[in-house]
Every structure is written in C-alpha cells, then in structure tokens.
Amino acid sequence: MRNKGAITLLTIALALVSAYQLFFTFKTSQVEKAARVYAAGDPEKERAYLDSIANKNVYNFLGLAKFTYKECKELELPLGLDLRGGMNVTMEVDVVDVVKSLANNSQDPAFLKALDEAVKMRTTSPKDFVTLFGEAFAKIAPNAQLASPDIFGTVELKDKIKIGASNKEVLDVIRKEAEGAIDNTFNILRTRIDRFGVAQPNIRKADISGRINIELPGIKDAQRVRKLLQGTAALEFYETYENAEFFENLSKINEKVRELERSADVLGLNKDTLLVSETIEKETVTTDTNDEGLKSLIEQTSKDSLNSINEEEMRKQNPFFSLLIPAQSQDGSLRPGSTIGYALLKDTAAVNALLALPQVKALIPRNARLLWEMKPMGDMVALHAIKITTRDGKAPLDGGVVVDARKSFDDHNGGAPIVSMNMNGEGAKTWARLTKDNIGRSIAIVLDGYVCSSPTVNSEIKGGSSQISGGFDVKEAEDLANILKSGKLPAPARIIADEIVGPSLGQESIQTGMWSFIIAFALVLFYMLFFYSKGAGLAADIALLANLFFLFGILASIGAVLTLPGIAGIVLTMGMSVDANVLIYERIEEEKRAGKGLKLAIKEGYKNAYSAIIDGNVTTLLTGFILYYFGEGPIKGFATTLIIGIFTSLFCAIFITRLILERASSKNDNVPFTTVFTQNWLRDVKFPFLQKRKISYILSGTAIILSIAFLSTKGLDKGIDFVGGRTYTVVFDKPVQVEEVAESLAQVYGSAPEVKTFGGENQVRITTKYKIDAEGTEVDDEVETLLYEGLKDYLPEGTSRDQFLEVNRQMSEKVGPAVAEDITRAAIWSVVLALIVIFVYIMFRFSQWQYGAGAVIGLAHNVIIVMGVFSIFSGILPFSLEIDQAFIAAILTVVGYSINDTVVVFDRIREYHTLYPKRDDLSVTDAALNSTLRRTFSTSLSTIVVLLAIFIFGGTSIKGFIFALLVGICVGTYSSLFVATPISYDLRRRFEKNKK
C-alpha cells in the first residue's frame, strides 16, 4: 500500500482529535460525579454546586487552552431526551397569519380566496407558502396588483413596497418579512429558554419553514414550559431612576438586612443559598472519594469559590452589598444610568428573595420596579431601577408602535454598530414626549420583564426615527434590532407537537441501550475471531474498536445528539461494517487458493474488493442522506450515526486492517484467514439459483399477494406520527387490563382511546384524539387532568394530579394534524426518492438498466413484505407494531442494506463476464451467486446477531423498530439471491431476445 506514512499520520490525528473531543464528556461527567457526591441526593444542592463552578476552569488541555465547566458542557457529547428525560417541543409561526397581518387583515375577496387556496395547496406541495399564495393569486386575479392600498400597499410597508411595484417584488418583500417574523420568534424563544434554567437546552429552526424545534432536558413542569413558550412577547419602553437617586434606598436595604440577620428574622432565607460557594468549600473538602483527580478538582473549585466571595466580616457588615455590588466607579463615585448594581448569576435568586421580604419592600419606592438585564456580562448580571409613571402601572409605550428596526453603523463615531428604529405616528408622539422629559437620563427597553438595553437620551427625538447606541458589537446590535421588531410580532408561535420523557424511562433507556450495545459489540468481536481466526479476525476487531472510537469522537465534534435510535444506528453500523472486512478477506482467500503468496494475495484481495465495497456503501450512503434530509428528531439522529459510521467503517476496513495485515505478513508468511470450522464452509457450492427461480417467484408472489391482502383489509396500525393525537405511556403499581382502562377513560373523554400494553403488564400506552385540533395550554392541561381523573382508580390512594404526571406518566407525546400530514408526505417521498436514486445509480454504474430494474423490484418486494408482516402480526405479538417515523427509518435502512447485498452480486456478475467472455449469462450469474454465498452468510449472520442482541436486551420503545430491521434483513438477503438477481437476468435475456 502506498503512502503508509500518510495513512498512519491520519489515523493518529483522528485518534487525537477524537480523544480531545471525548475528553470534554469525561470532564463533565467527572464534575457531575463530584456534584452528586456533594449533594448526597439533594437535587437543589447539586444544582447549586454546578451553578457555582459553571465559570471555573476544569479542563486544561496540554497547557494550551483552559475550559470552564460551562464550556465543557457545551462541547460534550449530549444525550437525547429518550436517554435522559425531558421535553421536546415543536413550535410553529403560521406564515398564513403573518401574511394576513402584513396586509392589515385585508378583506379583499381575491386576497382571501388566494389565501384559502394556498392553504389547500401546501398540504401536497413542498414549496413555501408565500410562493403558493403568489401562484394562487395570479390564477384568481391575474390583472390585480398586490401593491394596491387594499392589500399590501399599507402605511407600515410604504418604505418597502413602492407604488406600482410588481407582484413579484411584493412577494419578495412579504417573503423577507415572513422570514424576519420567524427569526424574531426564534430569538425571543431562545432568550426565554436561556433564562429557564435548563442544562444544555437545544433550540433550532426546523427544515420546514416556520417550525422551531426545542429540546429541554430534565424538565418536569410541562405546563410551565407551555405557558412560557406560547406567551406573547411583551416589549415595553420605561422611564428609569438614576443610579444616584436610588443609592440611598440600597443603603437602607443593606442596613435593614443587617438588622434582620442580627435579630434572626431572616430565618426564611437559606444561608446555603446566600453563600453557596462558601458552603461548598466547607463541605466538599471532606468528601470521601478514592478518585484523586476528582478530589483535586473539588479542592481547586473550593479554593476558587472561597477567593471569589468577600471576607466573613465584610459580609456581616454589608450582607446585601456582598450579594449586589453597587454600580460604582473605581474612585467610589456612582456611575450614571439606570444600573444600580451587579450580582453573580448564582446569587440572583438570593437577591430576589431579600427584595421580596416585606421589611425590604417597604424601603423601595412604590413606583419603582427592579429588573435584571437580559444579557449577563460573563458570570455577572446588572440590576436596573425602572420608574412607573402611569396610573395603571403599564409602560407609557409598547412594542406595537415599532414599525421597523435594523442594525446600522454610526458614521460620526468610527462606524460603531448602532440600532436604527422607526415608529408609527402614535408612537412618534409619545416617543417625542418621553425623550424630551428624559434628556440626560436613560430609557429602558424591556422584553418579557428583562432589560434589553438602557440607552441615555441626548435630545428630544421627533418623527419616530431614532438611533440607539450603547457600545454594541455587530451581533448585539443585530439581536437588539430583532427584539425591537418583535414588538409587533405578526403571529405568536404555537405548540404543534410535544413529547415528554420521564427521567426514569430515560434511565431505563440508557441501561437497556448500553447493555444491548455492549452485548452486540462483544458478539461481533467474537464472531470475527471465530470465523476468520486470531490473525485476520483480530485485525478486524482492532479496526472495529478504532471505528467505534472515531465514530463517537466525530459525533462529539459536530455536536450531534446521541439518541436511542442513534445507539441502534451505531450498533447496526458495526454489524454492517463487518461486510467490508468480509469482502476483503474472502477476496484474499480466493487469491491464496489460486496459489499466490500472502503479500501478493493481500494486495490483490484489497484491489479486487474495492469495487464491491464502494458500490455497496455508496448505495447505503445515498439512503442515509435521504433519511437525514426528510427525517426529524430521532430519525435524523439515526441517519447521522449511519452516515458517519459508513465513512469510519470504510476507513478502518480499507486502511487500518491493511496496515495490520501487511505488518503481520512481513513477519509471518502464514497469517490465517480461516479456522478449521470455517475454512470449507460454503466453498465450491453449485446451487442452481436460476433454475429454481420459478419456485422463488411463486413464493415471493404468494407473500406479496398475502401482504397486499392484509394491507387492504386489516391495514396498518398507524401511530400518531401519521394520524395525529396525544400518546401517554403510564406505569402502574400492579398489572391492569387494557379493556378496563379504555372503558374508564371513555367516561372522561367521551369515546374510548386506544390502550395497549407497552412492555410489562403494568405499563400501557394510551392514544387519544380528544381536542387534538384545539390549541392553547389550557387544552393540554385539560387533557392531562382528564387522563388523571380516568385513571385515578388504578393509582395508589391519595395520588395527586402532579404526582401522577411526575411519577406514573412516564412519557407523553402530542402530534398535531399539520405535523402528521408533513410526516406522512416526507415518509412517502423518502421511500420513493430512495428507490429512484438507487435505480439511477445502479443503471449508470453497471451500464444496463436491467440491473437497476432488478434491484428496485427486489427492494419493492422487501418493503411490501415487511409492511405485510407488520399488518399480519399487529396486535398479536407482545410489543407494539405501530407505523411511526422509526418504522420509516427501518424501511430505508433495509433498502440500503439489501441493495448492498444485491450490488455485491451484480459486481461479481460483471467481473465474471469480463473474465469469462465466452460463458453464457446463466452460468455466469449462477457462478457469481455461489461465489458470494460465504460473504452473504457472514454479513447477514453478523448483522442478525447484532439485531437480536438489541431486540432481546434493548428497551421496549425500540422493539418494533428492531423487529422491522430483523424481518427486512432476512427478506433482503433472500431477495438479493432469489429475486433481484434472477429478475435482472430475465430482463437482460428478454431484452437481448427482442433485440435479436
């Protein structure tokens, strides 16, 4: 092999990068272990510990870079909600509402009719809504102008839509405004989530326009989350107190808190909360642990914490100022502006608790509100004094008056980033009065109760156009502009799907997932040693270990989330990665049997195996890309691990095993590639595949007819992914009868929901469509309350609703009708597109369309039979056979796997036609099928063994998914031998016959 040095260096570099990335995960787990030891089961103390060291250095990489716990947490390999519990929410800003709002709810008949038509069109079209609206409007009113005053020629849009603008120009503006509304909503949700106190939240825009996906690990109070996320953004402008005006009040508060502490009246305050760092320092140094690295980390953290707080005597004299540092300059003078003090992020709760004391509240002016700043400065955050000047306590000006806001640059101040803002006529008048009354003072811009900015007014601002400066960088100016634009948010975001996974179910998933992973991996390692001996088998095992290490390292480096389907994807990748090694080893054995020496056999074996390896993996890779593009959530996670796994498997099989084998062959000419048990297994087989093809056609035809019959009559058990609804997984203390549970719930829901045993007899899955079309947090609360009422008789006496939702309800999922339609459409498109792409690739790769046709017919055969098996055995087998997104992932995986099998056979047929040009097509095809039997057996058996391990030892939630893969792998192996290859032969023969 050429460039051994380069390959070796690349392998070392990959190993170092993987180790570097995975060490972040190791460090966070180390810190969290220390937190658990310190907290001794108290979640509040554990959270306080982690908060206190969030900005402390815990990872020093070779003295070159230091990372805090917070930074390590952001760079670790995160676990999905199905592995750690939490809430997954899909929100949507309906572009229909945005378009209506931009047209000031126009009642123009053509406009309204075009909207209705576009809504119908988007259920079947992948185009964005604005484009569909434009097409519908052009059909309904071909000569009408969207820029007319009755539609989009409004006062608010006069600067963006000129008089006489073409419909295309108007649509471009509307599309940009719609995207801006989505961006604004995204920013608002992000700031809300950042303040929610969730460890490692994840928020991202979905592939479908207007959708936002949010993951909140560890969340228990789903009702609070729904209200927080769906609340309307409140943007307000307030007058403020000057720091100098308010300092006397702060001094009085400091004195009052000192008095209260001395008289022991502040017993309601937890001193551990007031001095978290000190408490940690005192308690953690005595922690009993044998981990020297962990003990060192605790001691260093304790020293840092002790040095970061004031001396004890200082704290006694100034208890409030030890938490809230007054806003003073270095010379002791008070700083101008509305900022009255700064506190550590971890101390804000203690400051709020003190400010809420009745004795302290009496010292704060009645027209004052103290609000924290939205964006912290490192681990500090500012507190502002807001002045209430209206009788009803509301802001004198709200965000509804803001017409536009944008980032710009100040030409008079070196091009510093600023924010330009425009208001409507009513807002301009109020803004002129506010700025006139507050020259030299600050006006606070408040969003959702947090101060975004507090600029100083230099002069009266007339006309509603103004500029806000504040030492922003470009990103901060852009964020503030988006916040100001959100003041007139055209449409609030609503939750269209959510999923809640209880922590106990997540813990069970981790345990079962890891056990299935370990057992499956051990079985693969043992199988390779058993079949290919300690020589070649050991090389393959080393490559598999390296493959696993690289795979996890790459997942961590790209920030991928590891889910339970992701673990299944990794394990399946391991089983499939054996295929490349098997192809290479079988080729080497053929070369050795032809009389070539070991070194030459290795060289020729790798060379001859490349074609089949590349063709097989490219087709699987194409399927993986389609799965990634159309999938969401766990499917995308599965596809990610599958795609990365294919690349790492190829690298390890082609390069690492070759380095090992060539090194071994240089020392020993007799490196074994088989054992005494396997050296003659399936050698020199001469099974007449093509002569028996009529039998296989009859068997396959019967299976297809039976499958179609059941699919037409019994149908499939569609999950809520495809029909919409709410699903709850509930665990009871004792076994229950599903019929009785359904009858009890029918009394509260009006009709019986679907109730199935899920796992053990004491655990059920309940699916209901009750009020699925209704929106609002109150509807979700009502459905959960009715669920509790219907199941109350099966719960321990005295179980409250909250206890039921936290303990018994292990998982819940909601999918709205719109989401179900999108998932159904994506599923159909993904399967159809996968078949088309594979047909085209094989047709060009093998230069004959008959190969592509045979492959696609074989794949369609596999898909129909797998679906038929699910229809036949639904409700019979003791686990769920629902058709959901995971099932589509399984179908596409089967497509990728079975095409891999088929392509290997096709590759051998093509090779034999080149080697033996005088042989007829029948003998060549039969010879190719027989020569690949050992490879087909090894690959299929190793994959089936892996899947069986996951099926037996894995969690209940993925049994249906793995069952689909098991059936698909068995059917796919059969079809590549008895369906796809014979059909391609028949098509080639018929085509040649017609041609003659």
DSSP code per residue over 864-890 = HHHHHHHHHHTTTSSS---B-HHHHHH
Q: Out of 251-255, 686-690, 722-726, which region has the weakest mean confidence (pLDDT)? A: 722-726
549 CB contacts (<8 Å, ≥6 apart)? Answer: 15, 18
294 vs 596, higher pLDDT: 596
pLDDT band at 239 (very low <50, low <70, confident <90, very high): very high
Residue range 41-64: average pLDDT?
75
Q: In this structure, what token pair is assigned to residue 651?
A: 């690298």
Rounded Cα distance between 616 and 623, Å, is: 11
The residue that leads in pLDDT, 510 or 723, is 723
Share of the chain above pLDDT 90, in %: 12
- Per-residue pLDDT averaged across 63-78, rounded? 81
pLDDT by residue (tens digit) across 811-870?
666 666 656 666 667 777 777 887 888 888 888 888 888 888 998 999 899 999 999 999
Residues of the chain with CATH 3.30.70: 725-812
Which among 944, 655, 850, 819 is positioned nearest to 7, based on CA atoms?
A: 655
d(Cα 785, Cα 98) in Å, to the nearest integer? 33
* CATH architecture assignment, domain 725-812: 2-Layer Sandwich (3.30)
Q: How far is CA 389 from CA 337, 360, 369, in A?
A: 18, 22, 11
The 10 Å CB-count burial string (b at 16+, else e) for 600-633 is ebbbbbbebbebbbbbbbbbbbbbbebbbebbbb
**Distance (Å, rounded) from C-alpha 522 to C-alpha 451?**
56
Q: What is the pLDDT of residues 764-777, one digit of tens each?
A: 878 887 877 776 66
Tell me what the mean pLDDT of segment 943-948 comes to. Answer: 82
Q: HSE-up of 594 (CA within 13 Å, CB side)?
A: 12
CA pair distance 370, 446, nearest whole angstrom: 12
For 135-190, how does the pLDDT look when each residue is reduced to its tens digit (9 = 90+)?
999 999 888 888 888 888 877 777 788 888 888 888 988 888 888 777 777 777 77
Listed in sequence order, the residues at least 6 apart from 756 whose beta carbon sits closer than 8 Å to its beta carbon are: 738, 764, 765, 880
Segments of the chain assigned to CATH 3.30.1360.200: 398-489
Cα–Cα dist 809/504, whole Å: 10
Query: Are 966 and 951 spatial neighbours (Cβ–Cβ below 8 Å)?
Result: yes
pTM exceeds 0.75: no
- Assigned fold of 398-489: Gyrase A; domain 2 (3.30.1360)
Q: Which residues lie closer than 8 Å to 225 by C-beta, 6 or more apart? A: 87, 89, 196, 216, 219
* pLDDT one-digit tens code per residue, 6-19: 888 888 989 988 98
